């Protein structure tokens, strides 16, 4: 597997006219256009017919994260406005789920608009009337970090969880390329119909096209579905400013995957596993590498005992398996089959009596990467010179240019509220890792 650190981001660009960026979603989610790419051939349809283009031995994997109302606006006594954008929990919390359930007070990494006029220690207050309930929210500037501020947020009534507080006091954070203010309708439409787990500041937008009737069409065709969670951070919009990828720092994101979901992946390795969205894909492929790391720790009595002690003390169990930006390329010369990796991961969880895997991944998938589990991707059209475009190029090789040229020439709408595609991968390892399936190497 080639190391993408030397890639030049300027090789992954195209011209995206402003008018092709969808500012609003279509009236009907599944009316969005669908581009189908398979071995160099491109056809098109709409999302309501997507089941017709997916074999019935497939497993579709969805990210059920829920976008939280992460934008908080405060008015200073002098009249100036301070906007707080809640990015991710302070490191004192073991995972994002427990942080979202905190009551009365939290510490959060935030972006702050108008921070130059907000002095450390100065308290901001916001009064919210929610039905008959009166809420008082306070924000205190604690610390400036390299790329964020640490803000203490406290509120009354203290019985509210932070997730509930945001729902009542905050606003949906639309992506920066949508040049308008969020409207009430965005609270529903910038959310998938299957969103369940609070924690994202951006939607897994490939899922915005799916409706109950589309899920029914999957059931009728015996196409299986599975759900996992990757909480999307604002880093998903972070532009690649470095000329070469080695100068870009990938954002880390929280993932939450059940043992049952991993078993479902394991049972479907011989079929077609399709990731609905780049977040689902990054999570699935991260599971392979976590299994690869778990396998490297087996079998030792000391490790098993350490796992039991860790589980008993309820210490964070994420550190051993966390995936950093480049290590998948460093581990590539010691591959194991996907089946072995997932089985090792399940054993690792079983030893620690874990039914869910809560950890973080910083995996960067770019040309040179060989996919271990995923064979297809459903995704929107992404920004030029973005890590999301690099992921698409890793999956289908240089044909990404062909796909994007077709979309631009045939009226497809781009980015979060736009249309999307079903892309069958070219650069895929078989389950036994003996060869790569058809298609050009990236």
> pLDDT tens digits for 212-244?
999 999 999 999 999 999 999 887 777 788 999
* φ/ψ (deg, to 5) at 200: -90, 150
pLDDT at residue 299, rounded to an integer: 52
Percent of the chain beyond pLDDT 90? 77
Per-residue b or e along 374-407, where b marks 16 or more CB atoms closer than 10 Å to that residue's CB: bbbbbbbbbbebbbbbbbbbbbbbebbeebbebb
Indicate if the pLDDT at residue 311 is higher than 50. no
The Cα-based distances of 200 to 66, 78, 229 in angstroms read 6, 32, 10
Confidence bin at 427 (pLDDT 50/70/90): low
Output the pLDDT for position 74.
Answer: 92
pLDDT score, position 206: 97
Model pLDDT for residues 165-218, shown as the tens digit of each residue: 999 999 999 998 999 999 999 999 999 999 999 999 999 999 999 999 999 999
Domain ranges across the chain: 4-66+191-424, 70-171
CATH class of the domain defined by 4-66+191-424? alpha beta
pLDDT of 440 higher than 50: no
**Parallel/antiparallel/unpaired status of strands 58-63 and 272-276:** parallel
The partner residues of 21 in beta bridges, in order of sequence, read 414
- Indicate whether 363 pLDDT > 50: yes
Q: Give the residue with greater pLDDT, 287 vs 315.
A: 287
Lowest mean pLDDT across 10-14, 26-30, 291-295, 430-434? 430-434
> Does residue 429 surpass a pLDDT of 70?
no
Mean pLDDT of the chain: 90
pLDDT tens string 48-104? 999 999 999 899 999 999 999 999 999 877 777 899 999 999 999 989 999 999 999
Among 31-40, 228-237, 273-282, 403-412, which stretch is predicted with the lowest mean pLDDT? 228-237
- Binned at pLDDT 50, 70 and 90, residue 420 comes out as very high
Question: Which pLDDT score, from 0 to 100, does residue 236 have?
Answer: 76
**Residue for token pair 């976008």:** 67
At residue 431, does pLDDT exceed 60? Answer: no
Is residue 9 over pLDDT 90?
Answer: yes
pLDDT at position 309, please? 43
Residue 114 has pLDDT above 70, yes or no: yes
Which one has a higher pLDDT value, 273 or 311?
273
- In the 3-class helix/strand/coil scheme, how is the chain assigned residue by residue? CCCHHHCEHHHCCCCCCHHHECCCCCCCHHHCEEEEEECCEEEEEEHHHHHHHCCCCEEEEEECEEECCCEEEEECCCCCEEEEEEEEECCCCCCHHHHHCCECEEEEEEEEECHHHCCCCCEEEEEEEECCEEEEEEEEEEEECCCCEEEEEEEECCCCEHHHHHHHHCECCCCCCCCCCCCCCHHHHCCCCCCCEEEECCCCHHHHHCCHHHHHHHHHCCCEEEEEEECCCHHHHCCCCCCEHHHCCCCCEEEEEEHHHHHHHHHCCCCEEEEECHHHHHHHHHHHHHHHHHHHCCCCHHHHHHHHHHHHHCCCCCCCCCECCCHHHHCHHHCCCHHHHHHHHHHHHHHCCCCEEEEEECCCCCCCCCECCCCEEEEECCCCCCHHHHHHHHHHCCHHHHHHHHHHHCCCCECCCCCEEEEECCCEECCCCCCECCCCCC
For residue 75, the model assigns a pLDDT of 85
| pTM recorded for the entire structure | 0.91
Angle at 174 between CA 170 and CA 179, to 5 degrees: 125
Q: How confident is the model at residue 402 (pLDDT cuts 50, 70, 90)?
A: very high
Is the pLDDT confidence value at 34 over 50?
Answer: yes
């Amino acid at each position: 597997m080639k190391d993408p650190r030397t890639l030049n981001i300027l090789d992954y660009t195209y011209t995206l006219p402003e008018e092709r960026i969808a500012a609003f979603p279509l009236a009907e989610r599944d009316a969005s256009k669908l581009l189908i790419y398979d071995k160099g051939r491109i056809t098109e349809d709409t999302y309501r017919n997507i089941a017709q283009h997916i074999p019935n031995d497939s497993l579709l994997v969805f990210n059920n994260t829920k976008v939280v109302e992460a934008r908080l606006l405060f008015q200073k006594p002098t009249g100036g406005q301070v906007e707080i954008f809640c990015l991710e929990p302070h490191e004192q919390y073991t995972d994002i789920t427990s942080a979202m359930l905190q009551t009365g007070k939290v510490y959060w990494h935030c972006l702050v608009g108008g921070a130059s006029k907000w002095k450390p220690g100065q308290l901001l207050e916001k009064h919210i009337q929610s039905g008959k309930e009166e809420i008082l929210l306070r924000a205190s500037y604690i610390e400036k970090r390299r790329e964020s501020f640490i803000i203490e947020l406290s509120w009354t009534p203290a019985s509210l969880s932070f997730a509930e507080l945001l729902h009542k006091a905050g606003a949906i954070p639309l992506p920066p390329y949508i040049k308008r203010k969020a409207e009430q309708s965005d609270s529903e439409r910038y959310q998938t119909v299957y969103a369940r787990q609070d924690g994202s500041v951006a939607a897994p937008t490939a899922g915005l096209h799916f409706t109950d009737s589309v899920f029914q069409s999957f059931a009728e065709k015996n196409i299986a579905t599975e759900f996992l969670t990757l909480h999307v951070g604002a880093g998903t919009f972070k532009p690649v400013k470095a000329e070469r990828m080695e100068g870009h720092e990938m954002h880390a994101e929280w993932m939450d995957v059940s043992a049952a979901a991993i078993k479902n992946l394991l049972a479907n390795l011989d079929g077609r596993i399709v990731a609905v969205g780049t977040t689902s894909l990054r999570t699935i492929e991260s599971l392979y590498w976590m299994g690869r790391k778990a396998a490297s720790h087996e079998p030792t009595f000391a490790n098993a005992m350490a796992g039991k002690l860790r589980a008993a003390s309820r210490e964070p169990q994420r550190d051993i398996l966390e995936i950093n930006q480049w290590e998948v390329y460093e581990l590539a010369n010691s591959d194991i089959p996907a089946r072995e990796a997932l089985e090792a991961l399940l054993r690792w969880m079983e030893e620690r009596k874990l039914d869910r895997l809560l950890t973080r991944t910083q995996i960067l998938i770019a040309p040179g990467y060989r996919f271990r589990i995923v064979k297809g991707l459903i995704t929107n059209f992404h920004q030029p010179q973005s890590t999301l475009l690099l992921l698409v190029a890793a999956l289908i090789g240089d044909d990404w240019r062909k796909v994007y040229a077709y979309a631009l020439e045939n009226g497809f709408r781009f980015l979060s509220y736009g249309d999307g595609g079903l892309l069958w991968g070219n650069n895929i390892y078989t389950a036994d890792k003996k060869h790569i399936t058809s298609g050009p190497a990236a």
